[in-house]
Structure 1
Amino acid sequence: MSTRIVLLRAVNVGGGAKLPMAELREIAGDLGATDVATYIASGNLVADVPGDPDAFDRALEKAVEQRFGFFREAISRTPEQVRAALDAHPFEVSEPKFSYVTFLAGEPTAEAIAKAETYETGDDRWQVIGTEMHIRYANGAGRPEMKGDSIGRALGVPGTARNLNTVRKLLALTGS
């Protein structure tokens, strides 16, 4: 068993992809996870997962799709990886809720990053470090100046973003 922070992309936002957290905990338990906890209703799961973490993530995706009828990527990290991502955040943090870490399913290519860098960002900032994209919104995620979806598509790997408050809370749930 290894402790993982598992993040599901785009659940319980904007009226689609409803996924009750109690049912997510149940599914994770059915897949053999223990010490299962969720945080807020946006697809944040902390658990000790059995075996290969990647295999667990794929099984979780499949189980959610079978039960709820929609596919959502599950992207997981160890607490140490999440801590390292938090520590690597390259931007000044004036409001933690304006700063995000997007956990990517893989590392984008240099060509993909170069393409993404062609998009205007106004006063918003982003930077890819390994398998994470760090974002600092000048006026909050609700009023972005950059086109985050376009940048994400250009990077060519799916990801899911959490603000720094959420990242810190998830680490706290692991005891880290």
Structure 2
Amino acid sequence: MNTCICLLRAVNVGGTGKLPMADLRALCVEAGFSDVRTYIASGNVVLRSTLPPDRVKATLERALETYMGRPVGVMVRTARELAGVLEDNPFPDAAPNRVVAVFLDAAPPADALMSVGGQRDERLALGRREIYIDYGSGMADSKLKVPASASGTARNMNTIARLVRMAGVDAG
């Protein structure tokens, strides 16, 4: 059995894509996943499956589209991969609530940071299948635009650390 962390894109954000976490858990169980747990209402699921991560993604995306009536992107990482995202954080000196990893389906292009706009004090770095962003003085007033992150979903280091703990992996 694999432990997978599923990060849903654009649910319960700014009043769009309403998805109660109880419904998400039930949907995951109906799709055949076990030991399903959610964390906060922004679409974070820790689950177990005999399927490989790419099949977990496809299965959950199909179930979500049926439920929501529209496609919902899902980024899936194994427990070990998510622990690696936390360990690879290139900004360990920054406040963990101001550093995010934007999760992508594939490795970001090598030139992904060349098209960034509106950058002020933010720092950026590429990961394996992530783009790390340190928002310096905070996200509220940031004008940062990262075109390569448009299809991804972001989680801050505090959330990632919590999901790693929920998945039962010792990071670090």
Aligned residues: 169
Paired position in structure 2 for 1:142: 140
Percent pairwise identity = 37
1:166 aligns with 2:138: no
Aligned-pair CA distance for 1:110? 2.4
Q: TM-score, normalised by structure 2?
A: 0.91
Aligned-pair CA distance for 1:147? 1.9
CA contact (8 A) 2:5 2:46 kept: yes
Aligned-pair CA distance for 1:92? 4.0
1:37 aligns with 2:37: yes
1:116 aligns with 2:115: yes
Paired position in structure 1 for 2:98: 98
CA contact (8 A) 2:131 2:149 kept: no
Query: Runs of 4+ in structure 1 displaced over 4 angstroms?
Result: none
- Matches of 1:91 and 1:34 in 2, distance apart? 34
Aligned-pair CA distance for 1:114? 5.1
Offset from partner CA, 1:90-124 (integer Å, 9 cap, x none): 1243321101111111112224x15424x241101
Segments of 5+ residues of structure 2 without an aligned counterpart are: none
Question: Match of 2:97, SS?
Answer: helix
Segments of 5+ residues of structure 1 without an aligned counterpart are: none
- Matches of 2:94 and 2:70 in 1, distance apart? 36
Query: Letter of the aligned partner of 1:107 in structure 2?
Result: A
Moved more, 137-146 or 69-78: 137-146
Q: TM-score, normalised by structure 1?
A: 0.89
1:3 aligns with 2:25: no
